[in-house]
Amino acid sequence: MPFNKTIHHRRSIRLKGYDYSQNGTYFITICTKNREHLFGKIENGEMILNDFGNIAQQEMKNTEEIRKNVSVGCFVIMPNHVHAIIVIGGNDDMHDGRGVLQYAPTENPFRSPSQTVGAIVRGYKSTVTKHINILRNTPYETLWQRNYHEHIIRSEQSFEKIAEYIVHNPQNWEQDCFYDALLNS
């Protein structure tokens, strides 16, 4: 059934009027479909990646190679989701004239849609899905929930807090909102 806004009542979770292609720093979270534990498990506060998790990790690293204007800050692959800090702007554009990292977006000429946060996430999801389906020898089967969570990082304090959250996410797995005690017993 095609999308009909009067029936489906979908609302965007993005900041209204914000240009997600402009230079800036973004915290993203991408969840697996039905929060299925696809990428491995947590043991003693450490994420143990399985083959699918290794694919998810490698493709996050490849994001910088594929998109020269994008840097991936810290990231973590969890059993059923991925957290990452994505910086749009490339290494030279990420700093102002004084060498200070720009957390808040700056004015930017129009970029093609392929340079948006959404396009980066779509590309990542697509390539991980393709490689995992090849490994499983299955036809195209979606691995991800629709959409993703994002937060625009606007200050150094926010950046540091989010980076610390990402780095310590495996140690805090049982308190994570994506943790499911039934799946972990």
**Domains, the chain, ranges and CATH?**
19-175 (3.30.70.1290)
Candidates 146, 120, 143; CA nearest to 130 is 143
Name the CA dihedral angle for 163, 15, 117, 29, rounded to a multiple of 10 degrees: 40
Half-sphere exposure of 138 (CA within 13 A, CB side): 10
Name the CA dihedral angle for 116, 118, 123, 129, rounded to a multiple of 10 degrees: 170
Type of residue numbered 44: N
Whether this model's pTM surpasses 0.85: no
CA dihedral for 23, 129, 81, 167, sign (positive or negative) = negative
Structure confidence by residue, pLDDT tens digits, 56-109: 999 999 998 888 889 999 999 999 999 999 999 854 444 443 333 554 454 544
H/E element holding 60? helix 51-66
